[in-house]
Every structure is written in structure tokens, then in C-alpha cells.
A and B are shown apart, each in its own frame.
Chain A
Amino acid sequence: MTHEHPGPAGLQAERTGLAWTRTALAFGGAALLVTRYAVVRHVSLLVACGVVMLATAAGVALVARRRHDDIATSLADRRNPMNRKAVLLLSVVVSAVSLVCAVAVLSLR
């Protein structure tokens, strides 16, 4: 394909990389809130939750850093740049964290 924008991936890849960066920041913020909650209330399940969230924030930041280049590589290989495993993992972590928080709030009242 010939496009006028720079490189084979161009602005689409940049926008997608930035979306991952925003998500990493959101994860970091939510992780700090959950960790604070966990430490204040001394609940080990919540502490684990906070640790998993911080690790996920780091993982998402890593994906964000590489996403632009990964997309460019996929396009050069004529592959669809779909990132199925990262999407599934992110969805599972966020859902699990939400559930744990709901249970924690209920049991700590």
C-alpha cells in the first residue's frame, strides 16, 4: 500500500501506541488506589490485587513502548496487527480486580 503518511504504519500505529500508554497510566493510578486501600485495611487478597495491577501497569507500558514497532513489523510481513493475547489478558485482569474489589468492599463494611 502506498500512503502519504510516514512509514508503513504511520499515525495509526502512533495513536494505538498512545492509547496503550494512556491505559498504562490509568492502570498505575487505579493500582495505587487499590494498594492504599489494601494497606489501610490489612487485606492480603487486596494487597495481591494491587501487586497484580502494578505488574499489569508495567506490562501495558511495555506493550505501549513496543506497539508501534510491532504494528510496523506486522504490516511489513502482511499480517493483521491484532494483539489477541494482550487484549484477553487485560480484560481478565480488569474483570478479576473489579470482582475482588466488590467482594472486599462488601466484606469490610
Chain B
Amino acid sequence: MAEERDASTDEPATPTPWWQEGTDPDYRFSLANERTFLAWIRTALAFVAAAVALEQLVPSFSVHGVRTALSVVLALFGLLAGVGAYRHWMLSERAMRRGEPLPRSPLMLWLSVGLVLIAAVVAVVLVVQAS
């Protein structure tokens, strides 16, 4: 249970960790936040799987190095989603404890743009290969 801290009391020696700030939110919101976090983790795992599968199962493109580059970018997207999952979960949980509006996440925009670029690169390579 979170305690209400009086503003007039002395500053504690160690600052309150974020998970003890404010008051406990409705448990249903905490659980929804947890499920969203897990969805991001699965997204990160899908990126890792795509990176490894691309490297292992797809024949090399005629344009040298493209397959490796795409594979590395996909794995780095996994890293981005993995770190972003925790960050977004923590910021959301803290905002709910403080009674603040939920934070926006830039992650979805970045990953969408990244995936569109990957699709564009693959399309261009396939066209070059066919001609």
C-alpha cells in the first residue's frame, strides 16, 4: 500500500522509488498495462525470429549485402521493442500512480516507418533482381 507523504516532512535519505509513488491504481489498469508490455515483448521476439529466419532460410538476394543488412536491422528492431516495452510499461505504471495522463510512445511510429522502409527495400531489390 502506498503511503501518503506529507510535503512538510523532511526529505527521505533515499528518494521514493517510482513504484511506491502516489497511490496504487485500479488493479485492472495495472494488468492491462502488463498485457500490453507482454504484447511488445512478443513483437520483439517476432523481430528476432524474422532476423534469424531471413538469414537462415531465405536465399541471398542478387544485390550483395542486402539480406545481411535487413537481418541486422530486424534484430535491432527487436532490441528497440525490448527496451521500449519496459520503458513504456514503467512510464505508464508511474503515470497511473501519479494520476497523470498516460505517456505517448514513439515506438509505434518508429517501428511502422522502419517496417515500411524494409518493405520498400525488399520490393526494389526484387524488381532489380527480376529485370
Contact = CB atoms under 8 A, between A and B. Distances in A.
Interface in A1-33: 12-13, 15-16, 19-20, 22-23, 26-27, 29-30, 33
Interface string A98-109: 110110011011
Chain A contact residues: over half helix, strand or loop, or mixed?
Answer: helix
A18 to B, nearest CB: 9
Contacts of B45: 23, 26-27, 29-30, 94
Chain A: number of interface residues, binned into ranges: 35 or more
A34 B48 contact: yes
B41 A84 contact: no
B31 A105 contact: no
Interface in B110-126: none
A13 B78 contact: no
A33 B1 CA distance: 43
Contact residue range for chain B? 35 or more
A29 B49 contact: yes
A84 B94 CA distance: 12
Nearest to B64: A109
28 contacts: A13-B31, A19-B35, A22-B42, A23-B38, A23-B42, A26-B42, A37-B52, A37-B56, A80-B24, A82-B34, A88-B86, A94-B48, A94-B85, A95-B82, A98-B44, A98-B51, A98-B75, A98-B76, A98-B77, A98-B78, A101-B75, A102-B76, A102-B78, A102-B79, A105-B52, A105-B68, A105-B75, A109-B68
